[in-house]
Amino acid sequence: MSRSQATQEFVPIKEVRNGMIVLKDGSLRAVIMASSINFALKSSDEQGAVIYQFQNLLNSLDFPIQIYIQSRRLDIRPYLAQLKEREAIQTNELLRVQTREYIQFIKQFTDSTNIMSKSFFLVVPYQGALLTTKSAGGFFGKSKKTKEEQELQNNETIDELIGQLEQRLQVVEQGLSRTGVRTVRLGSEELIELYYKLFNPSEATDTAGQ
């Protein structure tokens, strides 16, 4: 067994389909990215309204959700490269000097301060048992279905579960919108990137200026 195969055994994800994560145990996960709000800058009445709406959201849920906050050091180098390009093509000498001084200021500031970027996610689950070749045969563990037929049945089951998970996502999204939080669902590509960074933290760096 290769090292990559051994590592994959510890990853609970079976596949990513239509913006949904299918786990090996048959359950599904969807991930919503949420914006932040300037809670401290709001008036006491506005803060109370936000808390009240968030409380209503939590009370309306009959399923668990996971709140995940991702904090990463911001890579400022691409932004500095853009500034240097602007400096090189700048025809006004005064603006060129100001751009150069601004670049030096950014360098010194980032060297002395850890600038972190934060992303907020909500993981919405749906538990459902997928049919397998072994379980489809009843108590005797035998199945009359071919592998292709069983795979088709599993796919149909997943599609049904995705429909149920969609309803949960709508509840969460509507509840968050009432608090002033904007949301967006992660698609398949975004999910793959997110989980790749989770399982490979040494390669995960947020980049500024992109």
How far, in Å, CA of 76 to CA of 82, rounded? 10
Q: Is 19:186 a contact under the CB 8 Å cutoff?
A: yes
Low-confidence spans in the chain with pLDDT less than 70 = 1-8, 128-156, 202-210
Residue 207: which residues within 8 A CB-CB, separation 6 or more? 74, 75, 77, 78
**pLDDT the model gives residue 132:** 44
pTM: 0.67
Residues 62-93 pLDDT 10s: 999 999 998 877 778 888 899 999 888 888 88
Collect all residues with Cβ–Cβ distance below 8 Å to 66 and sequence separation of at least 6: 122, 123, 125
Residues 6+ apart with CB under 8 A from 148: none
Other beta carbons less than 10 A from residue 175's beta carbon: 19
Given this model, what pLDDT does residue 122 score? 95
Is beta strand 116-126 parallel, antiparallel or unpaired with respect to 183-185? Answer: unpaired
